[in-house]
Structure 1
């Protein structure tokens, strides 16, 4: 049997297992077992044991539960209320006015949570009732929230970038730094769209609702943002400045998050236990998937399928641009049915050899992949941000998806921009050196 047939057979088996409702980790492990048993002479039991152990003891994985814990603590704090209070005075005179608080608020919370769903839920709980009560266009309220919440996957510290870094053996610190400028770029694109939309649809934005404030008053009202800014500086600054590894900075972030929650009066014995249990559940789920993915990666390597597929792709003489176009369509389709972490761990073992053979920087590809996965967060039928917002509002999922459609297109524009100008991704990491 040739390599293409073997690949299609394994892929079909994996999709059948996933469609049957089997947990992703079990489906990955079962596919790896089948690959080793039928297409190699490697002892299955020994390979399973060594790969499971090897994937479990990675030091980089220690950052994962820490950042999840930090997000869980902040999710239960008064952070969102404080962010709204601090941001509102600065956007009151910009076309679109308080719609921008969704974009800026999601960007800030993304920088201290790392989770798209947590960002959507936290900011949405505060902004949807507030903006609806003030008379803003309902569709834009939902759209700005759904689109901007995807920034939780990209703006560091990002859980999915940790997963990608572990799966591909890339520097997590460099991946974090690489996500900063693309994240800011997407925020600018979202804000620009809101400005244009509000100019074309003035009835969707309440008129003259914000008083003109002097600079000193704006600064005074922004004081609630100070702890948030300090937290971001503490986490990201320690990495960028070379004072701490991502794992060490995660520990700093957890300590600062508890301090911030305690200061706001929301740190109680109950919330502490809730945050801890939420962290355990999410961390073990992701770690279990990573272990299964690592075993599948090892199995695929032993069969020689990734190497042969990369060679086959190279014989097609696809330009890097055509390869990325094909991969973009593939990831969008895959992301319609799987969550972002599953997309990353399922595909890296097969896709990365093709990407490297095409001369594409694996670090740049990680940022590209995360933005494409962001797009899948707001595409039905399995767009997790859509589900979160539907749960908050009770709106029809199709209506929420239509509201998010312009932001899906803006994310696509972001992919095109970093493809044409890869320096957007590589500039800051290059300043760090090696």
Structure 2
């Protein structure tokens, strides 16, 4: 094996992964601060923030191709020694982000009220959510610019500057938010304005980075069309994820209030650990893309095997840690006896899946770095249709509760594991060249 593959130093992998984890964690941490500030206004503004924030988050979730797709294309050009063209991918992704963002802003203003009403069913919550959302939507083009900026910088193996930018914007906004909400007296609207201020600061820093690179800033429609082609597959993949997790929440809500509370606690922990594992996947995207761009299939195969081992080890460590705290950690989230009684029905699935998730997320990063988005799209949709969705909805009909929901998630992850491991072992993803 050592004669056919090349490894990279572990410090290089984690030098990319650790700052990437900081960027991934910054937004959830800011949301916690925002929630704590608005929570003191009362239940109604908090409900409005929750609904409005969920709707805005759907935008960035569905358009992550601006980040992941840009990383894949930029990393190959960077590996080929064509830095100016690599940064040019970032320029075109930024133009695309601005164009899509303006559309999202316009459509969002039109549909904010009917969509919020349909989701809440309460006119008071709808009014609060729309107040927040209509202001926060002005940050949508800037959120997408940030996604594009993260994408090209990861591609050129710079994950430190994005961390600085995100911490600067979110840090200032976290200080500004309570000031605007309370002393200034803008209430929930102050939270939305602080959110937009954060997006302005971060996006300006990313735009400045492009100017410093002395990149050609003219739009190039042909490049943007190629980026959209890759983006189509990633959007469809994201939709499959959304269908799964929305279905799980709906079934849990129809089971019992205790079940939905327990599901929410375990799912949030799952989401948090996914960020930890995804940081390693981001390093894989950058390193695999660069190796293939440099025409080094051996290095790409070596990095893939190396990252997969790291993901497995990290998943095993997380499995052991969360098994050990199973009797203690849930108490940090609730003291409700009914919710605590439901948590074990999901907890042990969550714990046992960590090694599987470690490998799946690592190989997702490898295949994304290789630009193998079409395969990932098909694998994710297939896993959802064959595994998650049938079991989740069957659990509603047969009364299987949280055990049924998390059995569906387990089958979903095991099918994805089978797909990505088979693809990895085949080597068909390792297509060399500056662009795929």
TM-score bracket relative to the smaller structure: under 0.3
> Which structure exhibits the higher relative contact order, with contacts defined as CA atoms closer than 8 Å and separated by 6 or more residues?
1
What TM-score do you get using the length of structure 1 for normalisation? 0.27
Whichever structure has more helix as a proportion of its residues is 2
What TM-score do you get using the length of structure 2 for normalisation? 0.27
